[in-house]
Amino acid sequence: MSYNIHNGKRTKFFLSESTFPQTIDVIKTKCKGLDIELVIGKPSEFDFSKGKEFIGMLVQNPDNLGNLIDYTEFSAKLKEHKMVFTIAADLLCLCLSKPPGEMGADIAVGSTQRMGIPIAFGGPHPGYFATSDKLKRKMPGRVIGISKDVHGNQAFRMAMQTREQHIRRDKATSNICTAQALLANMSSFYMQWHGRVGLRKIAKKCRFMG
């Protein structure tokens, strides 16, 4: 998505070295397929003089070492060079910490396994994907919105689906999306059941155990 936002005019992407190893491996594979030069290093040592050569940057928060960082000021510098900033954030951690959007992130991604999904020998787990309103039409897949039915009850509906999947085909930016409806429903029901107060209690218990 970050690559397509720049229409292929930039060919470098920066990835934090403290991102989860499995995430780094997936991004390496993706970059190889798109001929994107992947630079892995410490965000704190990023050379902003070369910022306009980069598509964007992805950081993990909390990272693989357990560090939780406020990227608000850092993201402002990235925006000066029109770099797309992505934060891979832990959902349960967000019950207590500053959300990616308030830090200036353009994209937030992550796993919802934390929300009531058994480990199941490593997967599968549903994920979440969010972006700013400005970039929503660059999103792969579909956007679901809240509406009302004829009786005035709250209902969810498909608000947007990129038609390019049917028209552009081989040039489409959206890949075929794997259905994880059961696991997605389990996560959403888990969050509804515990509610804001319950999830914060669980997050605090995880934070201070051991």
Locate the domains of the chain by residue range.
2-140+177-208
Whole-number pLDDT of residue 158:
67
Model confidence pLDDT, tens digit, residues 47-84: 999 989 999 999 999 999 989 999 999 999 999 999 99
Q: CATH number of 2-140+177-208: 3.30.70.20, 2.60.120.10, 3.20.20.70, 3.40.640.10?
A: 3.40.640.10
Task: Please enumerate in sequence order all residues whose Cβ is within 8 A of that of 86, keeping only pairs 6 or more positions apart, or say none.
Answer: 2, 56, 57, 58, 59, 105, 106, 107, 108, 109
pTM of the complete model: 0.79
Torsion region of 66: left, alpha or beta (phi above 0 gives left; psi -120 to 50 gives alpha) = left
3-state secondary structure of 52: helix
∠ CA 37-69-135, nearest 5°, is 55
Question: How many CB atoms are closer than 10 A to CB 178?
Answer: 7
| Whole-number Å distance between alpha carbons of 72 and 82 | 15
Per-residue pLDDT in tens (0 to 9) along the chain, 210 residues: 898 888 888 999 999 999 999 999 999 998 998 899 999 999 999 999 998 999 999 999 999 998 999 999 999 999 999 999 999 999 999 999 999 999 999 999 998 888 988 887 766 788 888 998 888 878 776 667 778 888 889 887 766 555 555 555 556 655 545 556 788 888 989 999 999 999 999 999 887 764
Per residue in 103-136, is it b (16+ CB within 10 Å) or e — as a string?
bbbbbbbbbbbbbbbeeeeeeebbbeebbeeeee
Whole-number pLDDT of residue 136:
82
Residues in the chain: 210
